[in-house]
Structure 1
Amino acid sequence: MAKQSINVAQQCKELIEEIHKGIFRPVYLLMGEESYYPDLICKEIIDNCIDESNKDFNELICYGSDANAESVISAARQFPMMSDRVLVVLKEAQLMKSLESLSVYCEHPLESTTLVILMHGGGADKRKALYKSVSKNGVVVDSPLVRDYELARWIENYYQSLGLTLEPGGANLLAEYIGCNLGAIAVETDKLLKNIPLGCKEVSIDDIEKNVGVSRQYSIFELTKELCYKRSEKALKIAGYVGSAAKFSMPAAVSVIFNTFLKVLRYEALMLRKGPISPSDKAAALTGVNPYFYKDYDAACRNYPLKKTMSIISLLCEFDYLGKGGDGVETSDGELLVELTAKILS
């Protein structure tokens, strides 16, 4: 999935480069559970396809709740007036009952028209005619959700695409605070960039704390660090604070802690092997971990023997079930997090 997400980012980059060069495809089908890339491409097309002075006669933006296939096809078959092309944008296309009927046009689209079909919350059926005709004669962008465990890496890549580097831990902090909403991450990043010195190429955690409104001192990632070092008092204090936050989600918290201890387990298994551990072996065991944080995993291996780590993995599976309402548990998410933290430390 991570590879697929990165491929969508690359596809989006290439399409935007085309758009800025004045190259437009006859049909775009922009869809997927994650709306960031489809919305971004759609905006770039609207901003660049038709000159402002020619938009009145050559641009139509309609919505699936109000439009039908016949009216969209009719607009797409119009010839441009004092312009190189016609732009027809169908937003919220998933709401149009006759959506599949657009395949009639997409089989033979006009070169002088750009038709954009923008869908949210899913996509066209890949077995049916619309998807197949756009794949053949235009371009399809299918944007999947970025999973929790992929998000920090996505944020790092996004900042790199802006010519910026993040202080280690900064991506995790943003991921925890904002969640898997790529559009919101982009908005918060824009806000942050307006408040750091012009020309600054390195974004620190202090910058994030000051301008995004999140504190690393009380975050789930700071909790995992304290668990690695087995600092009970501070870990329980952070668990109480994090669990009381309005946006706190127990399943999301368990996912972060689980991923940490799963890497600890792999690392411990590696250390049981005879012979020296090479840097590449360590990197493989701690896949996705910035080398800056290797010392935290070294500490966890010292503090949690293999048998204890395995019991923690089992414990996390149990609390994941409870956090999702298993057994009709009435304990709050915050109380569950404190209880889980105490049991890990015991």
Structure 2
Amino acid sequence: MPTLAPDALPARLAGEPLRPAYLIAGAESLLVLEAADAVRAAAREQGCSERETFEADARGFDWNALASQINAPSLFSAKRLLELQLPTGKPGKEGAELIAGFCANPPPDVTLLVLAGAWSRQHGGKWSEAVSRTGHFVEVREVRAHELPNWLERRLRARGLRADAGAVQLLAERVQGNLLAAAQEVDKLALLDDGRPLDAARMEQLIAESARYDVFGLVDAALNGKPAQVARMLAGLQAEGEAVPALMGMVTMELQRAAALAQTKARGGNLAAEFRAQRVWDSKQAAYTRALSRHDAAQWERFVAEAGRVDRIAKGRAPGDAWRQLERLLLAVADAKARRMLAA
């Protein structure tokens, strides 16, 4: 089944009419999101002013609702974009038949964008092959540790930054395999860029200038059990004009990692293997180990759920003060005695 690399998608979108279907799949959430944004932008440029999202995250998902929208006439524009989110990467029999049927005879006014949060050979089938024939299948593969410097160098170059091998390696060591962190660091470097090529010394200086208060240090402080530092850094981020939604991606990601590690520990599994699976670099494993000793697996799951609530508050989807609730969450991570604050 032919696939398209995420880096190749923008050029393909720019050089051809919008295809009837796209499948973007992989566990690298940042790259999936960026590829999806590229399709959305192309859809808007080509007349898709209507967009509707469906999330097939449970067995009770109503596939007839999606089928009805596919067949419904457009109310406001000539073209529509329908997004189907498949967190498990598996649409089931009914969903697979619907997607394959759509690709066999796509309506001229509908583009179907399928986003899968996981992908392997076991996820594929006739439905994904149908998408690949009718449109494009963008497979987002994991960026491994040895691939990260080249990935960073390409991203820096795309932002107009020139960096030598030493500078890129220094940046790779800072972000420790976290692509969201890497993307944010590159964005900060672009703002601080003065046109000079980046060597290791200059990179270290710019990282220091951008890191007075940052989400990397914030999460590290929480994992390392430093509540006073957490409170100070949060106050600094708020004073510098950061927005809570911009912080929640990394906070949630790190809490999910900790929850997965805690589950492995609770089962008596191979924690070293889980560190590798979660791409926790050697330099951060001690912080996670300390954090895991403070809370059991069930508590880490509650932390992940609370992070979701904070994100909803920050986006206006739930009542409350997002900064206050984020502080309570991270203080609870840092100090088991502070967990009672989460109920407040």
Deviation per CA, 1:236-280, whole angstroms, max 9, x where unpaired? xxxxxxxx99999xxxxxxxxxxxxxxxxxxxxxxxxxxxxxxxx
Aligned with residue 102 of structure 2, among 81, 84, 105: 105
Aligned with residue 208 of structure 1, among 188, 203, 206: 203
- TM-aligned CA deviation for residue 68 of structure 1: 3.3
Pick closer, same or farther for the CA change 1:139–1:203 going to 2, 3 Å: same
Pick closer, same or farther for the CA change 1:117–1:189 going to 2, 3 Å: same
- TM-aligned CA deviation for residue 91 of structure 1: 2.5
TM-score normalised by structure 2 residue count: 0.53
Pick closer, same or farther for the CA change 1:187–1:146 going to 2, 3 Å: same
The worse-fitting range, judged by mean Cα deviation, of 133-142 and 67-76 is: 67-76
* Residues 143-158 of structure 1 mapped to structure 2, 5 A cutoff: 143-158=140-155
Pick closer, same or farther for the CA change 1:110–1:143 going to 2, 3 Å: same
Is the contact between residue 123 and residue 142 of structure 1 (CA under 8 Å) also seen in structure 2?
no
- TM-aligned CA deviation for residue 32 of structure 1: 1.7
Aligned with residue 83 of structure 1, among 74, 77, 88: 77
Partner of 1:94: 88
- TM-aligned CA deviation for residue 107 of structure 1: 2.2
| CA distance in structure 2 between the aligned counterparts of 1:130 and 1:140, rounded to whole angstroms | 11
Partner of 1:65: 57
Unmatched runs of 5 consecutive residues or more in structure 2: 211-219, 225-269, 275-281, 287-344
**Counterpart secondary structure, 1:166:** coil
* Aligned AA (2:130): S
| CA distance in structure 2 between the aligned counterparts of 1:119 and 1:15, rounded to whole angstroms | 20
**Rg bigger for which structure?**
1
Is the contact between residue 12 and residue 41 of structure 1 (CA under 8 Å) also seen in structure 2?
yes
| CA distance in structure 2 between the aligned counterparts of 1:173 and 1:150, rounded to whole angstroms | 14
| CA distance in structure 2 between the aligned counterparts of 1:104 and 1:142, rounded to whole angstroms | 22
Is the contact between residue 192 and residue 207 of structure 1 (CA under 8 Å) also seen in structure 2?
no
Aligned with residue 39 of structure 1, among 28, 33, 47: 33
| CA distance in structure 1 between the aligned counterparts of 2:199 and 2:164, rounded to whole angstroms | 5
Deviation per CA, 1:163-184, whole angstroms, max 9, x where unpaired? 3211331111122221333333
* Residues 156-195 of structure 1 mapped to structure 2, 5 A cutoff: 156-195=153-192
| CA distance in structure 1 between the aligned counterparts of 2:125 and 2:272, rounded to whole angstroms | 39
Deviation per CA, 1:104-136, whole angstroms, max 9, x where unpaired? 222222232111000113257465221111011
Deviation per CA, 1:155-209, whole angstroms, max 9, x where unpaired? 1122223332113311111222213333331221112211223xx2623434432
TM-score normalised by structure 1 residue count: 0.52
Is the contact between residue 13 and residue 42 of structure 2 (CA under 8 Å) also seen in structure 1?
no
Pick closer, same or farther for the CA change 1:115–1:9 going to 2, 3 Å: closer
- TM-aligned CA deviation for residue 46 of structure 1: 2.6
| CA distance in structure 1 between the aligned counterparts of 2:161 and 2:154, rounded to whole angstroms | 9
Pick closer, same or farther for the CA change 1:181–1:76 going to 2, 3 Å: farther
Aligned with residue 128 of structure 2, among 131, 152, 164: 131
Pick closer, same or farther for the CA change 1:50–1:13 going to 2, 3 Å: closer
**RMSD, matched Cα:** 3.9
| CA distance in structure 2 between the aligned counterparts of 1:140 and 1:129, rounded to whole angstroms | 13
| CA distance in structure 1 between the aligned counterparts of 2:176 and 2:11, rounded to whole angstroms | 26
* Aligned AA (1:90): L
Same amino acid, percent of matched pairs = 22
Pick closer, same or farther for the CA change 1:191–1:214 going to 2, 3 Å: closer
Is the contact between residue 28 and residue 142 of structure 2 (CA under 8 Å) also seen in structure 1?
yes
* Aligned AA (2:200): I
- TM-aligned CA deviation for residue 27 of structure 1: 0.4
| CA distance in structure 2 between the aligned counterparts of 1:48 and 1:205, rounded to whole angstroms | 38
Is the contact between residue 10 and residue 38 of structure 2 (CA under 8 Å) also seen in structure 1?
no
Aligned length: 218
Is the contact between residue 124 and residue 130 of structure 1 (CA under 8 Å) also seen in structure 2?
no
| CA distance in structure 1 between the aligned counterparts of 2:200 and 2:222, rounded to whole angstroms | 22
- TM-aligned CA deviation for residue 25 of structure 1: 1.1
